[in-house]
Structure 1
């Protein structure tokens, strides 16, 4: 149970204000000597590979005392606040959890060096310099502990202590994260480039407060501000925001909590003003403290009729519990908790906090004295406590006292702002550590070596890795420039005289200080969109061909299928189907066998397809000649002529392909010269004559078929295919004539894409031109698919 009640707190605040005004003229010399013997820094050090500096506010204020022996001025921290000590617990808990979790920093440990600023700017500045110097007496611009890896600072709670800290750390280039400073001045990135915070600035708070008042339609309010820098600053900002958004201030009252002489007169004056006011909403500005709550408690009989709008600093303060009746029903902003306050791990850690476990923790001992009334082993502390709190008596504790029983340690309004600050700083260090580790293991030491450097005596700067020395004509040999290594070369040492060429299968990285494996390039099944699109299109066209073949088989005895040699139609459909499937030979990593099969397969299947069309065209011409009476062409009618044409023309292509394979077949080729840093895995045709012979013969068949079909396009017949063959051959020739220059001008997988596109386009053109009109008649115009229609239209 807390030793304080409201009456005791009031008497303590009165005592504090009187002693603060006469801080150099203490009346009780004996007590002053006791205090000076107790003078000690609230310092916490846990060594680690990476150190985090911390300046936290745990005690409420500082009392300045003059040493009776040497007349030096000393600062004595007073009044430890439980919720502020809880922030230190959060700091300690995060460091311990991080060091126990080896996945975060596997080979490193985090440590800290923390001082209590006691809410005083002078003490805060001293604490920062002590951390940087590593000594009890600060030595600016010098570190007495050699290699000390201070990565950044956490702190402080108030703007009054944070601003001077930020000014010092900006000079030294250290990052700083405050967990409570709201001064808008700290938003200036030019003045404070390394400063960050886990709370909103006063500008943002004033904006939110204005939005709150607008939401409820409160445009007529009163303002109470306290006579300190924060109160004046917030009032100026509020006035600006209120005027911009049409909110008027009925009255503003400035309360001076240190003015004791006219206290009763001022309180009565304020009460009278509150009673006369017509607004029911009052906005509070300034820093909350025990003294402020004391002042407010004297006004609670008139303020309880008003609705108070509190700042963020008020809503999160345990000190509001002193005046629950006064603030009950008020509105305020709270910072949301970002981690679980009631986790089992945190509860267990909090329960383990005890003076017996941490005997050197001076703050913890003070906390036990003030809130459990436990006597100290230090008699000077006991005497000081008796002097400061004569109403309370210390006794020997049993050791069963718990920190959870101390008022406001486990407050539901507790916001883990220090925990968030340490988390952010640690994550930044982790990302920096990982980035440097990826660049080079040697660069990893940069994050840990902060010693401000040895004198320099060089004509030229060292050439880093990836560069070589370049001599300057007419200068000393010690004076040189740095030239980046040429393409394909690296240097992996500083001040390299020359660069090293990477092996054929490797290539320099971006920094040109390491050889890495070249990137392999080929048209795989999953590399990019086109690798998925082309095989998908091939499968769709293959299925369409199968469907058309099924239709023709079903209607194989119909006149339209029989009229133009159905065996040739079936053969043509099968060859088109195989050409669609041949696309898959062009996908994936090329090897010798696929390089041979891909060219041979599409060459033979297309030759069969074009030979079938040539045979169809010849049969149309023969059929027309045979219709004349007494014509000798009748003996050529039948399947023997068409089969002979297909067999003869296809055999020539087969002979060409076999000769090509026998003399100089295609093979896998690794191209390391076309694209820097890339191995293009492709097929080499082996014999260019063989490749162009296959393409040329296929073009010859198409040209002959086109000429014959063009000449026979107007022959009278009900199902004359000549005009469709003419169009299909025109499309076929156009595709392959266009393919040749495109094939020659591309490299790597783009060449394969050109081949696949030519195969799909020409095959789809044959399928659509020859068979879609017949399918249309079979499925949608059955009256045309009759013998009567056939003979009725013959001439």
Structure 2
């Protein structure tokens, strides 16, 4: 490059204080806009200085080194100096400063030793992602420790690309998870993301987008803030107008900001402009990350902070007050200009790229003469990080010196080694450094070289006089066994005025109340949903339920579908009127059957009793007595045993009764046929034909029941669905095939009995009961035909009621049709109960 080609004039300072070893800082003290080099003509000789911002970062280094120098236990007999470069957020100047600190001699040529070399320990760096990347690439070649305190996204936290780098802030992913927990705590699902328009901001937006999607939180919009040093007034106006449409959305009331105090400088300026253009205030809840946290002195000095009243911010958890802050707040007040003019009186001007012409500014003023009000504002999270970074280097250096001294045999030999310490020797001690500082109880790094710390959640409360206080309203613990734990004291939070001191709501749609669930229309974000009522048997107990939950089988949903109510157990009990009614009827019929049985036993030697086969009559009466007693198996809470007995009683008793009717009919037919001369049937008359028929037919039914009980017996079944709010205790049929076999066999017996009785209905009535059996079977069939549709359309406990009615009706039909006429003759017309009368009847 031409020797006469010079760079533009710039007020750039290189603050310097000699010492045995130097801690170097590359810090953006000012924000400046410089023209780009086109290499077509001489560079312009003007530059635009916009804001003076970060002198507090320089002062944090000065105070830390002053405290270390006054501490007799830390680095005794070693003097720490500093060499601080101002880079103005410029990559070009950062590159020059890095080359400058790596060079010796008159010429700025890295990796060339000439003359006395500065004893460099470590570099403390601030700035954006590009600044970090540039310096890390250069410093890592020499293994010089680099401690970054500025806005550096931890995409490079993997120690493989830059093992010489350390971060004075915790993992960014922890803060992302903390933001997620904060949104979930307050139920905010529709938010905006605001970040610098650079690689770090893009990574932040991309990471949070993917994190939020997995947690059903939606990003309403994203906005990239232009870089200050690339500021163009036309571009700024365009971006502000585009941002206006997003920030005026009423539904997105929460804005998440990511950046440091420098990269976010244009945000309050933009809000002022938007308010002026829109002629209305923009009421939002701002959530900021730890590197900004509304702590910049420029933020308080230049902009109206009313926009951020009630905002929430993450802040690295520190002690309540550090010694450096005490020093800041006990000094006489000076203006910012006096700090520049009296403390650092020098300028960097007309330097050539090929020569080292950075003018070193030696400390003139005393630290005790610094402005307290300005410094009080300036003690930001970044200032604390700078302060801690100096102490980290000092403690690691102290550990290195102690290690070297313990290995040296003589003091002179140890002193000689101490004069030859290289920066790379500091790395093992930086990785294992652990100490208590004025700002944190314990300072140490994790395996990725990142600070291990918890976060405070602070609430910014502003006042009309452009002052503010930061109130701690919660914390985020990052080192608990269960992972991240968020604690919020909601009653201590002061919300923005436009929300009337109520918790703000930030959602795309109104919340779904209990009893409803969310349904996302096709093509819409998951946060923009409709509310649909829960179906019968399902509920939702909280707002914005993703889906309705089914009640357990023992519960049912109320009308509002927000509560499960226990179901009542239902069965025909002895206490209810229906059960009492059946008990009364069963006992009454049992009494009638017993009376009929007693009448027949008392008059067993009368002709009418003898003529109708007393044994079959007794069998039929006993089966009817058992049949009238079987309803007691259907009343009361059913059990597996009672379910089994119900089916056996129903099957066996009715089979015996119908078999007895069939036997009586066949006996009449045989008796009539035996009266004809020469008929061979006469030899069967008088024998126990009827008993054999009853036994044979009943045995077949009994065998079918045994097979049924072995294959799949009836059991107790809980019916949860037939009736709303009821659990019906009922007996399952077990095997429906065997059930239909049992019923089918009884139908077969009844059909045979009906056919035989019907064919013999015109025989002389003195010798048979065909007419009565025929009539009885007609009654039973009519009951059976009417029972089937009733049974099919009956639910709940009324199925058992239908069965009870059927049993009583069948039994009453058998009793009334077969025995009432005979009882009438025996009791009321004994004159007809004679052999002559029966014989006369036969001759008619």
TM over 0.5: no
Structure whose alpha-carbon radius of gyration is higher: 2
Structure with greater helix percent = 1
Structure with the greater relative contact order (CA < 8 A, sep ≥ 6): 1 or 2?
A: 2
- Normalising TM by the smaller chain, what interval? 0.3 to 0.5
